[in-house]
A and B are shown apart, each in its own frame.
Chain A
Amino acid sequence: MSSGEGGNGDDGETESGGSGGSSDADRGRGGDWRDRGRQTLDWLVNASAAQRMAISLAALVFAVIVGGILVFVSGFVATCRQPVLYIPLLGESCYNPAQVYWTMLEGAFGSTANLARTLQETTLLLFTGLSVAVAFRAGLFNVGTQGQMVLGALATGLALVPLGSVLPDSIIGMLVAIPLGLVVGAIVGGFWGFIPGAMKAYADANEVITTIMLNFVATGLAFYLVSEHLGDPGTGSVQTVPVPSVARLPPTIDGSRFSVIALVGALLVAVAIYLLYDRTVLGYELRTSGLQESAAEYSGVDAKRNVVTSMSLSGALGGIAGAVYVMMVHYRWQTGMPALGFDGIAVSVLAGNNPIGVVPAALLFGGLKSGSFAVDFALGVPGELVVVLRGLIILFVAMPEFFRMLGKYYDFGSDPEPVATDGGERR
C-alpha cells in the first residue's frame, strides 16, 4: 500500500471519480479488492514456476492428508456392517483412508469405463478451469463461471432441439450442429461474463460480489424459465426436451459419454489461450489492463474495454463448458447442474492460473471426481468428500506463506526469495 494520500481517503474518492481511472493506482487506497487481486497475482508472477509447482503439490498433499483424517474420524461415527479398523479404546472405524484413496485411484483410472468417466470430467474441467484462469491472468477473480455455464448450457440445449428436423442425421449435420451449439453457449455465457466485466470497468463494482450474485440469478432464472415456460412438458422434472442425435458428440469409448473430439478441442483451446496471453500483444494488453490499469492507459491501451473483454472471454469459456456438458454428457439441460464452475476455481489456482498448467490440474481433479463415485459405491464414503477436498485445495493454495514457514522450520534448502504476498513488502 502506498500511503501517499494518507489514511482517510474519504474525499479523495469523490475527486478522483471525475478524473477517470488513470489516477487509480496513484490513489493510496490499498483496501480496494482490485489490489487484493493484484497482490495474489504478484506472488503468482513473482514466484518461479518451480515454486508455484511446489506450492500446488504441497497444497494437494495437505488437502489429501486433511481429507484422510476427516474420513478416518468419520469412520468412527458412521455405521457399517464390516468395520475395517479396530483401535483399542477408540472403537471400530468403517473407513481406512489408505483404502479410500486407493479405491479412488482405481475408480479413476482402473478400467476403460472409469477412464472414460475421468476424461469426461477432465474435458469439462478444462473449460471451466480455463475460464477462471483467463480472468485471473487479467487480475480478475471470476467466481461466476458456474452461472455462465448454467445459462450457456440452457441456451445450447434449447437452440439445438429444432435442428433435429432440419439437419440430416449424418456427419454433415453434426458439423453444423455442434459448432452452432458451441457458439450459442459461448455467446450466452460470454454475455453473462460481460455484465460483471462492464460493471467492473465502468461502475467499479467488485467482480467477486457481482459474479457470486449473478450465479444465484442465473440458477434461479434458468430454473424459472424451464419450469414455467421452456421445459419438457412430458416430464414432471425441471428439464428441457433432449437434443437430437445430430447434436450429440459421439462417444469414443463404448457405453460412456466421453468424446475424444471434445477433449482434443479443450486441449487446443488451452494452447490457444497460452499463446494468446504469452505471445500476442492483445494478450499482454489484457494482462496489464487488469493488473495495472494506469500503466496500461499510459501506453495507450483502453484498459476498461480490456477488462470487459477478459470477463467476456472468461464467461464464453464457461458457456462452452455448459454447451459441451449438454452435447456430450446429459443431452439436455436439467436443473441441478454439477458445480463444475466452482471446481474450475480449484483447477485454476492449482495450476497457478497457467493455461498449460490447467491441463494436469483438470486431469487430477477429473480423477478425484470420477474416483469419488467408486469410493461412494464401494466403500460407502459420501462422494461429498471431493467437495471438501476442492475447498481444502483452494484454501491451501491461497496460503503459500504456510508452506514457506513450514519449509523454514524444517530447514529445507535455502530460503527462497520472499514471495510478495503483500503489496506492502514490495517497496
Chain B
Amino acid sequence: MSDADVLPRFVRDHRRALTLVVLLLAALTIVVTVVPGGRQTVTDVSGVITASYLASAFRLTVPIAFAAIGGIFSEKAGVINIGLEGLLIIGAFTAIVTLHFLPETTAIWVIWSAFGIAVIASAFVALLFAIVCIEFKADQVIAGLAVWLIALGLAPFASIIVWENVNSPSFVTFSTVSIPILSDLPSIGRLFVATPPVFMLIVAVPLAWYVLNRTTFGKWIEASGEDPKTLDTAGVSVRKVRYAGVVLSGVFCGIGGAGLALNVGQFVGSGETMVDGRGWIGLTAYLIGNYNPVGAFLASFLFAGLDALQIQLQQIAGYDVSSTLIGIIPYVAVVVVLAFIGRTRMPSSAGEHYESDE
C-alpha cells in the first residue's frame, strides 16, 4: 500500500472529525480577522487556558467520554443504544441514593460502595434494555428513547420519595488523588491532581481502544455488528456478544454517571437532571470520532472544554458571555457537522435482530 492510498483513507475515515476541525479553524479565523475586537478576545480567552482550566475540562469530560465509549461497545456489537443519557441518569442517581442509605462517614469504603452500586444499577438497566432488544426484538431506537424517558421520570420521582425534593442534599465527594512526583511539577502539576474518575477515564480510553482493536473479544464485537452470520458460523454466539456489548455500555455509563454525581456530591433532578444532555453529547462524540474510543474521547474533551471555558470566562470581568449560548454550541456543532457529512457509517447490521439458524 502506498502513501497515496493511506492518506485518503485516513481522510475518509475521519471525515467528521476533520470537518469539525476545519469548521472550528474557519470560525476562529473569522473571529480574529473580521469581528471587531476579535483578536483581543482570542488573546484574552487563550490566557484563560491554564493547567487548572485543563483539569476542570478533564473533570467535565468524564461523563461524556464514558457514555461515548459505552455507546461504541453497544453499537459496534450491533445494538444501537441511544439510551446512554438515561443510563448516566441512573448511575448518577444511584450513587447519591446509596450514600443516603450508608452511614454518614468519610470512610473510603462508603464512596466506593456508592460508586460500585451505581455501576451495577446502570449495567442492570442496560441488561434489561438488551433483553428487550434481543429477546423481544424491540425497535432499538424507540426502546432506547424509552430508557431515557423512563430514567428522566424515575430519578426525580425517587428523589421526591427519598428526600421530598427533586434535588438531594449534599453528601461526601471524591477526594482528589495526586500522582507523586508528577503533581509537584511546576505549572502543569495541577493536571496530575484529580479525582479517581478522571484517572479511570485516562486508563479506560486506551484500554477500550486496545480491547476493540487488538483482542479476540474486540473482533467478536466488530463481527457481531458488521457480519453476524460469519461470527455465528465461526461458532460464537451473536446473542452473547451483543449482550456483552450492551451491558458494557451500561458499565461505562454507570462509571460516567457516578463520576459526575460523586464529584459534586449531590443529585440534581430538576429540568433535564444534572446529566443535562451529556449522554447525547457522548453519542455524537463517538459519531464524530467514528466509533474510535480515542476519537470519541477527543471530541468529548473538545465539548467539555467549551463548557469549562464558559465557566472560566464568567469569572473575567468585562465578558458578558451567555452561558446558555455557549451551552448550545456542542449541539449546534453536531448539527453542522451532520449537515456537512450527513450519513454516519454505522456497523452494517446495527439495529437488526439476528436469528441464529440452529
When distances are taken between beta carbons in the complex, the residues of chain A under 8 Å from B152 are 387, 391
The docked-state distance in angstroms from the alpha carbon of A386 to that of B348 is 37
Chain B residues within 8 Å of A39, by CB: 139
From B347, which residue of chain A is reached at the shortest CB distance?
A31
Give the CA-CA distance A193 to B354 in the complex, in Å: 34
User: Given A30-B352, A213-B335, A391-B150, are A349 and B142 also a contact pair (CB < 8 Å)?
Assistant: yes
In the bound complex, CA of A13 to CA of B15 (Å): 14
Q: Is A253 an interface residue (CB 8 A)?
A: no
Residue in contact with B334 in the complex, picked from A213, A382, A399, CB distance below 8 Å: A213
| In the bound complex, CA of A378 to CA of B164 (Å) | 15
Q: How large is the interface on B (under 10, 10 to 19, 20 to 34, 35 or more residues)?
A: 35 or more
Near A by CB (< 8 A), chain B positions 83-138 give 132, 135-138
Complex contacts, A271 vs chain B, CB 8 Å: none
Within 8 A of B (CB), among A336-355: 336, 342, 345, 349
With contacts A7-B230, A74-B158 taken as known, whether A31 is within 8 angstroms of B328 at the C-beta atoms is: no
CA distance A8 to B345 in the complex (A): 11
Cβ-neighbour of B351 out of A33, A210, A221, A392 (below 8 A): A33
Most chain A CB neighbours (cut-off 10 Å) among B12, B138, B142: B142
A79, A395, A397, A405 pick with most chain B CB within 10 angstroms? A395
A424 in contact with B355 (CB, 8 Å): yes
The residues of B that contact A394 with a CB separation of less than 8 Å are: 142, 145-146, 149
Contact B146 A224 (CB under 8 A): no
Please state if A398 and B161 are interface contacts (CB–CB under 8 Å). Answer: no
- Tell whether B339 is near chain A: CB-to-CB under 8 Å: yes
Least distance between A40 CB and chain B CB atoms (Å): 5
A contact patch SS = helix
- Decide yes or no: A385 and B157 within 8 Å by CB, A33-B141, A77-B162 being known contacts: yes
Stretch of B44-52, B251-259, B276-284 at the chain-chain interface: B276-284
Give how many A-B residue pairs fall within 8 Å (CB-CB).
202
Contact of B227 among A7, A349, A389, A423 (CB under 8 A): A7
CA distance A59 to B212 in the complex (A): 38
Cα A199 to Cα B338 with chains together (Å): 8
Chain A residues contacting B334 (CB-CB under 8 Å) are 209, 213
Instruction: Report how far A77 CA is from B163 CA in the complex, Å.
Output: 10
> Is B146 touching A392 in the complex (CB atoms < 8 A)?
yes
Which of chain A's residues have a CB closer than 8 A to the CB of B268? none
Is A209 a contact partner of B149 (Cβ separation < 8 A)? no
The chain A residues found within 8 Å of chain B, CB to CB, are 1, 7-10, 13-14, 28-33, 35-37, 39-40, 70, 74, 77-79, 141, 143, 195, 199, 203-206, 208-210, 212-214, 216-217, 220-221, 223-224, 227-228, 336, 342, 345, 349, 382, 384-392, 394-395, 397-399, 401-402, 405, 421-425
Q: 4 nearest interchain CB pairs?
A: A387-B153, A391-B150, A203-B342, A391-B149
| 28 A–B contacts, CB within 8 A, in A order | A7-B226, A7-B349, A8-B227, A31-B348, A36-B140, A40-B142, A70-B157, A78-B162, A199-B335, A199-B339, A203-B338, A204-B342, A206-B344, A213-B335, A214-B331, A217-B328, A220-B331, A223-B324, A224-B322, A382-B160, A387-B157, A390-B153, A391-B153, A394-B145, A397-B142, A402-B136, A423-B352, A425-B355
